[in-house]
Amino acid sequence: MVNSNRLSSILILNYNGFYLLKQNLPSVIKAINYTGIPHELVVIDNGSTDKSTDFLKREYPFIRIIELNSNEGFGPAYNFAIPKSKNEIVVLLNNDISVKEDFLQPLLDHFSDNSVFGVSSKSYLSDGKTVDAERTCGRFKFGKFQVGTSHSEITCNELYVHGGCCAIDKKKFLLLGGFDNIYYPAYYEDTDLGYRAWKRGWKVIYEPKSVVYHMHMATSKHLLKNKIGTLMTRNNFIFTWKNITGYKLFFFHLVFLPLWLVKNLLFGNLEAIKGFTLATKKIRQIIIRRKREKLDQKITDCEVFNLVATPPLKKPIFWKRHY
């Protein structure tokens, strides 16, 4: 048993995940017991139509349930539930995540530093050997914002916390306004949150000593109905127009944008073109957010990229070009 004086609220997002909860909840409860203190455990039920809530009320009456009337998606569900949590550190888990017994304390220990916004765990697939999620990093190249992942065996900076396995400072989360619903239904909410935290001078940390296991079963299966390429492209443009406020970087974005449009038209990449078109329809909302974020930023875009783009170990970076 490990004693820790730092309390957290563990929030598990669930949608029609009865079998996932049945399989993964015992590991979370075991991890709480391992710390020796009463962390709050909450399941956010995102409008399930299966027997998830009946199962929880019957088998785990000590778990607090926050029930939503319909599936609100990832960001809106957490935005609703996090302010209702009892403790100042909030641990976010998907229902398809099981945890190692000692995963919690390495996350929580970082919050003794008041400048820390969030900390991510290292995620393996359910076989316990294949790495699922590692350190996130970012760069701005040829006018494009790009997200990447890099291998690290040590604690280090990263671009953003993994929404399915992380701990965050609730007060800072609320100051940021939570996950931005402009990205609904999914993708880039956690990237955007981490980036905005960095620009306010807060830190985002990758902690490989905190280990979780991911079953790769989506909490919100309805997202499969969407065109992922279109959604990713739309949200990449929204992120860029909203958050890249450095004049030089944004100038390069505008210079390369016509080339990008011509290239994708020539190659018939209609999903990408549609994503760009959908992003332009949100331009008014983007401008309002851009002006608001500029008021609170403490460091520049280039400083953020310098902090998160270079891996602490010389290992390959896997970049994801989302448009």
- Say what the pLDDT of residue 227 is: 82
Mean pLDDT of 252-267: 97
**2: its two tokens:** 């490990």
52 with 181, same domain: the answer is yes
137 with 263, same domain: the answer is no
Residue 225 and residue 183: Cα distance in Å, rounded?
A: 16
Instruction: Give the percent of the chain with pLDDT over 90.
Output: 83
194 closest CA partner among 163, 219, 231: 163
13 with 123, same domain: the answer is yes
Domain-terminating residue out of 173, 192, 223: 223
261 with 132, same domain: the answer is no
Q: pLDDT by residue (tens digit) across 13-25? A: 999 999 999 999 9
Q: pLDDT by residue (tens digit) across 63-76? A: 999 999 999 999 99
Mean pLDDT of 125-152: 91
Domain of 133? Answer: 9-223
Residue 209 and residue 143: Cα distance in Å, rounded?
A: 35
Domain count, the chain: 2
User: Which element (helix H / strand E) includes 10?
Assistant: strand 9-14
191 with 81, same domain: the answer is yes
36 with 89, same domain: the answer is yes
Model confidence at 8: pLDDT above 80:
yes
Residue 91 and residue 108: Cα distance in Å, rounded?
A: 9
Residue 204 and residue 198: Cα distance in Å, rounded?
A: 7
Could you tell me if 144 and 256 are in contact, meaning their C-beta atoms sit under 8 angstroms apart? yes
261 with 170, same domain: the answer is no
**205: its two tokens:** 């940390």
Model confidence at 3: pLDDT above 50:
no
170 with 287, same domain: the answer is no
- Determine which of 115-119, 167-171, 219-223 has the lowest per-residue pLDDT on average: 219-223
Longest alpha-carbon distance in the chain:
62
Is residue 100 included in any domain, yes or no?
yes
Query: What CATH number should be reported for the domain holding residue 42?
Result: 3.90.550.10
- Say what the pLDDT of residue 6 is: 86
- Say what the pLDDT of residue 219 is: 45
Is residue 240 included in any domain, yes or no?
yes
Model confidence at 321: pLDDT above 70:
no
Phi, psi of 217 (to 5 degrees): -125, 115
- Say what the pLDDT of residue 311 is: 59
User: Which element (helix H / strand E) includes 99?
Assistant: strand 97-99
Is residue 107 included in any domain, yes or no?
yes
190 with 263, same domain: the answer is no
76 with 155, same domain: the answer is yes
Domain-terminating residue out of 204, 223, 242: 223
User: Which element (helix H / strand E) includes 237?
Assistant: helix 228-243
> DSSP string spanning 257-287?
HHHHHHHHHHTT-HHHHHHHHHHHTTHHHHH
Is residue 174 included in any domain, yes or no?
yes
- Say what the pLDDT of residue 218 is: 46
Mean pLDDT of 76-85: 97
Residue 139 and residue 294: Cα distance in Å, rounded?
A: 20
pTM: 0.93
Phi, psi of 286 (to 5 degrees): -65, -45
Is residue 314 included in any domain, yes or no?
no
- Say what the pLDDT of residue 196 is: 98
Residue 154 and residue 202: Cα distance in Å, rounded?
A: 20
Mean pLDDT of 32-61: 96
116 with 137, same domain: the answer is yes
Is residue 22 included in any domain, yes or no?
yes
98 closest CA partner among 135, 126, 130, 121: 126
Is residue 39 included in any domain, yes or no?
yes
For the chain, count helices (H), then strands (E): 11, 13
231 with 175, same domain: the answer is no
Model confidence at 313: pLDDT above 80:
no
Cβ-based burial of 316 (10 A; exposed 0-12, middle 13-18, buried ≥19): exposed
Is residue 311 included in any domain, yes or no?
no
- Determine which of 42-51, 110-119, 217-226, 229-238 has the lowest per-residue pLDDT on average: 217-226
